Structure 1
Amino acid sequence: MVFVVLLLLLLLQMGCTPDYNCTGDDPVQIPHEWYQPSEIIIGGIVSHIYFLLTEVYFLRHPSEEEINVKMMVPQFYQHILAMVFAIHEINNNPNILPNITLGFYIYDNYYDARMTYRTTLDLLFKSHQFYPNYKCGSKTHLMGVIGGLSSDTSSQMADVLGLYKIPQFSYGSFQPAVNGQIGFPSFYRMVPNEALQYQGIVQLLLHFKWKWVGLMSIDDDGGEHFLQTIEPMLSRNGICSAFTNKAPINMRIFEMNEMSEYIMDSIPVFRDSKANAVVIYGETANIRWLAAIILGIKESLQHNEKTSFGKVWITTAQIDFALYTMQKAWDMQMFHGAISFTIPAKQLPGFQKYLQTVNPTQTKGNGFIKDFWEQAFDCFISNPNMPADETCTCEERLEHLPGQFFQLKLTGHSYSIYNAVYAVAHTIHIRHSSNHRKMDDGSKLTPWKVGPWQLHSLLRNNPFNNSIGDEVMLNQHGEFAAGFDITNTVTFPNNSYVRVRVGRLDPQALPGKMLTINEERLKWHRDLSEVPPLSLCNDQCYPGYSRKKKEGEKFCCYDCSPCPEERISNQEDLDYCIKCQEDHFPNPHKDHCIPKIQRYLSFEDPLGITLASSSLLFSLITSLVLSIFIKLQDTPIVRANNRNLTYLLLISLLLCFLCALLFIGQPSNVTCFLRQTAFGIIFSIAVSCVLAKTVTVVVVFMASKPGNIFQKWVGKRLAHSVVLCCSLVQVGICAIWLGSSPPFPDFNMYSVTEEIIAECNEGSVTMFYSVLGYMGFLATVSFIVAFLARKLPDSFNEAKFITFSMLVFCSVWVSFVPTYLCTKGKYMVAVEIFSILSSGAGLLCCIFAPKCYIIVFRPGLNKREQLIRRKY
Structure 2
Amino acid sequence: MEISAIVIGLVLFLSLCELNSALEVSAGLTEEKTGAGVSTGASSMKCKLQGTTRLPVFSMDGDYTIGGVFSIHTYKHTVMHNYITLPEPQKCTGRIDSRQLRFSHAMVFAIEEINNSTELLPGIKLGYQIHDSCGSVPLSVHVTFQLSNSLDPVIYTGDNCSHSRKVMAIVGESSSTRSISMSRIIGSFNIPQVSHFATCACLSDKQQFPSFFRTIPSDQFQADALAKLIKHFGWTWIGAVRSDSDYGNNGMAKFLDAAQKEGICVEYSESLHRTHPSSRIQRVAEVIRRSTAVVIVAFAASTEMRLLLEELSLQPFPRRQWIGSESWVTDPKLLSFSFCVGAIGFGIEQAVIPGLREFLLDLSPSKVAASPLLTEFWEDAFSCRLGESEKVDQIFKQGAVIDERLCNGTEDIQTLNNPYTDTSQLRITNMVYKAVYAIAHAIHNAVCQDTNSTAQCDKFTRIESKQVLTKLKKVNFSRNGYDVSFDANGDPVARYELVNWQKSESGSIEMVTVGHYDASLPEGREFRINRNLTWLEGSTQVPVSVCSDSCPPGTRKVLQKGKPICCYDCIPCPEGEISNTTDSLDCFPCPKEFWPNAERDTCFLKSVEFLSFDEVLGIILAAISVGGACLAVITAAVFFRYRTSPIVRANNSELSFLLLFSLTLCFLCSLTFIGAPSDWSCMLRHTAFGITFVLCISCVLGKTIVVLMAFRATLPGSNVMKWFGPLQQRMTVVFFTFIQLLICAIWLGLSPPFPMKNMSIYKETIILECALGSAFGFWVVLGYIGLLAVFCFVLAVLARKLPDNFNEAKLITFSMLIFCAVWITFIPAYVSSPGKFTVAVEIFAILASSFGLILCIFAPKCYIILFKPEKNTKKHLMNKN
| TM-score band, normalised by shorter chain | 0.7 to 0.9
Structure 2 counterpart of 1:315: 324
Judged with a 3 Å threshold, the aligned counterparts in structure 2 of structure 1 residues 603 and 401 are, in CA distance, closer, same or farther, namely: same
Q: Please, which of 356, 369, 373 is the counterpart of residue 368 of structure 1?
A: 373
1:811, CA displacement in angstroms?
A: 5.4
Q: Please, which of 95, 100, 123 is the counterpart of residue 119 of structure 2?
A: 95
Matches of 1:689 and 1:398 in 2, distance apart?
126
Q: Please, which of 154, 168, 193 is the counterpart of residue 168 of structure 1?
A: 193
Matches of 2:154 and 2:120 in 1, distance apart?
27
Is 1:212 aligned to residue 237 of structure 2?
yes
Structure 2 counterpart of 1:551: 561
SS of residue matched to 2:537: coil
1:799, CA displacement in angstroms?
A: 3.5
Structure 2 counterpart of 1:526: 537
Q: Which moved more, 1:775-784 or 1:238-247?
A: 775-784
Matches of 2:719 and 2:208 in 1, distance apart?
116
Is 1:455 aligned to residue 465 of structure 2?
no
Structure 1 counterpart of 2:307: 289
SS of residue matched to 1:409: coil
Q: Please, which of 45, 64, 73 is the counterpart of residue 40 of structure 1?
A: 64
Structure 1 counterpart of 2:138: 114
Is 1:775 aligned to residue 793 of structure 2?
no
Name the aligned partner's letter for residue 421 of structure 1. Answer: V
- 1:267·1:297 contact (CA, 8 Å) conserved in 2? no
**What per-residue deviation string (whole Å, max 9, x for no partner) do you get for residues 50-70 of structure 1?**
659xxxxxxxxxxxxxx9842
Matches of 1:310 and 1:815 in 2, distance apart?
71
- 2:187·2:211 contact (CA, 8 Å) conserved in 1? yes
TM normalised by structure 2 equals 0.78
Judged with a 3 Å threshold, the aligned counterparts in structure 2 of structure 1 residues 542 and 106 are, in CA distance, closer, same or farther, namely: same
- 1:819·1:831 contact (CA, 8 Å) conserved in 2? no
**What per-residue deviation string (whole Å, max 9, x for no partner) do you get for residues 275-300 of structure 1?**
111111132233123303421442xx
- 1:173·1:318 contact (CA, 8 Å) conserved in 2? no
Judged with a 3 Å threshold, the aligned counterparts in structure 2 of structure 1 residues 297 and 445 are, in CA distance, closer, same or farther, namely: closer
Structure 2 counterpart of 1:349: 354
Structure 1 counterpart of 2:21: none
Structure 1 counterpart of 2:398: none
Structure 2 counterpart of 1:802: 815
1:464, CA displacement in angstroms?
A: 0.8
Structure 1 counterpart of 2:879: 869
Matches of 1:829 and 1:334 in 2, distance apart?
76
1:139, CA displacement in angstroms?
A: 7.5
- 1:145·1:167 contact (CA, 8 Å) conserved in 2? yes
CA RMSD, 1 decimal: 4.3
1:269, CA displacement in angstroms?
A: 2.4
Higher relative contact order (CA 8 A, sep 6+): 1
TM normalised by structure 1 equals 0.78
Structure 2 counterpart of 1:817: 830
Judged with a 3 Å threshold, the aligned counterparts in structure 2 of structure 1 residues 366 and 616 are, in CA distance, closer, same or farther, namely: farther
1:98, CA displacement in angstroms?
A: 0.4
- Give me the identity figure in percent: 31
1:339, CA displacement in angstroms?
A: 0.9
Structure 1 counterpart of 2:268: 243
Judged with a 3 Å threshold, the aligned counterparts in structure 2 of structure 1 residues 686 and 408 are, in CA distance, closer, same or farther, namely: farther
Equivalent residue pairs, number: 789
Structure 2 counterpart of 1:617: 627
Structure 2 counterpart of 1:19: none
SS of residue matched to 1:318: helix
1:168, CA displacement in angstroms?
A: 1.7
Judged with a 3 Å threshold, the aligned counterparts in structure 2 of structure 1 residues 649 and 503 are, in CA distance, closer, same or farther, namely: farther
Name the aligned partner's letter for residue 144 of structure 1. Answer: A
Judged with a 3 Å threshold, the aligned counterparts in structure 2 of structure 1 residues 180 and 857 are, in CA distance, closer, same or farther, namely: same
Judged with a 3 Å threshold, the aligned counterparts in structure 2 of structure 1 residues 78 and 658 are, in CA distance, closer, same or farther, namely: farther
1:647, CA displacement in angstroms?
A: 3.6
Judged with a 3 Å threshold, the aligned counterparts in structure 2 of structure 1 residues 221 and 357 are, in CA distance, closer, same or farther, namely: closer
Name the aligned partner's letter for residue 363 of structure 1. Answer: V
Structure 1 counterpart of 2:498: 486
Q: Which moved more, 1:332-341 or 1:118-127?
A: 118-127
- 1:30·1:365 contact (CA, 8 Å) conserved in 2? no
Is 1:269 aligned to residue 269 of structure 2?
no
SS of residue matched to 2:288: helix
| Structure whose CA Rg is larger | 2
1:314, CA displacement in angstroms?
A: 0.9
- 2:815·2:852 contact (CA, 8 Å) conserved in 1? no
Structure 2 counterpart of 1:135: none
Matches of 2:172 and 2:787 in 1, distance apart?
104
Judged with a 3 Å threshold, the aligned counterparts in structure 2 of structure 1 residues 844 and 190 are, in CA distance, closer, same or farther, namely: farther
Structure 1 counterpart of 2:14: none
1:619, CA displacement in angstroms?
A: 2.1
- 2:322·2:340 contact (CA, 8 Å) conserved in 1? yes
- 1:622·1:650 contact (CA, 8 Å) conserved in 2? yes
Q: Please, which of 499, 511, 518 is the counterpart of residue 523 of structure 2?
A: 511
Q: Please, which of 409, 417, 427 is the counterpart of residue 412 of structure 1?
A: 427
1:208, CA displacement in angstroms?
A: 0.8
- 1:175·1:222 contact (CA, 8 Å) conserved in 2? yes
Is 1:433 aligned to residue 448 of structure 2?
yes
Judged with a 3 Å threshold, the aligned counterparts in structure 2 of structure 1 residues 717 and 375 are, in CA distance, closer, same or farther, namely: farther
Judged with a 3 Å threshold, the aligned counterparts in structure 2 of structure 1 residues 74 and 755 are, in CA distance, closer, same or farther, namely: farther
Matches of 2:128 and 2:553 in 1, distance apart?
64
SS of residue matched to 1:319: helix
The equivalences for 1:450-849 within 5 A come to 450-460=463-473, 462-466=475-479, 468-491=480-503, 497-518=509-530, 520-526=531-537, 531-577=541-587, 586-590=596-600, 602-633=612-643, 635=645, 637-638=647-648, 643-687=653-697, 689-690=699-700, 714=724, 727=737, 731=741, 734-735=744-745, 738-739=748-749, 759-760=768-769, 762=770, 764-765=771-772, 767=774, 770-771=777-778, 774-775=781-782, 778-779=785-786, 782-783=789-790, 786=793, 789-790=796-797, 792=799, 793-794=801-802, 795-797=807-809, 798-810=811-823, 813-814=826-827, 816-818=829-831, 820-821=833-834, 823=835, 832-849=842-859
Gaps of 5+ in 2: 1-50, 77-90, 157-162, 393-400, 452-456
SS of residue matched to 2:774: helix
1:96, CA displacement in angstroms?
A: 1.1
Judged with a 3 Å threshold, the aligned counterparts in structure 2 of structure 1 residues 670 and 498 are, in CA distance, closer, same or farther, namely: same
Name the aligned partner's letter for residue 352 of structure 1. Answer: R
1:549, CA displacement in angstroms?
A: 3.0
Judged with a 3 Å threshold, the aligned counterparts in structure 2 of structure 1 residues 842 and 144 are, in CA distance, closer, same or farther, namely: farther
**What per-residue deviation string (whole Å, max 9, x for no partner) do you get for residues 493-552 of structure 1?**
98964322212222233333322123x421112166x71111111334444544343233
Structure 2 counterpart of 1:395: 411
1:340, CA displacement in angstroms?
A: 0.9
Judged with a 3 Å threshold, the aligned counterparts in structure 2 of structure 1 residues 435 and 356 are, in CA distance, closer, same or farther, namely: closer
- 1:332·1:496 contact (CA, 8 Å) conserved in 2? no
Q: Please, which of 298, 306, 310 is the counterpart of residue 280 of structure 1?
A: 298
1:637, CA displacement in angstroms?
A: 4.9
Matches of 1:818 and 1:491 in 2, distance apart?
78
1:233, CA displacement in angstroms?
A: 3.5
Name the aligned partner's letter for residue 288 of structure 1. Answer: R
- 2:447·2:458 contact (CA, 8 Å) conserved in 1? no
Matches of 2:495 and 2:705 in 1, distance apart?
100
1:433, CA displacement in angstroms?
A: 3.3
Q: Please, which of 428, 432, 436 is the counterpart of residue 421 of structure 1?
A: 436
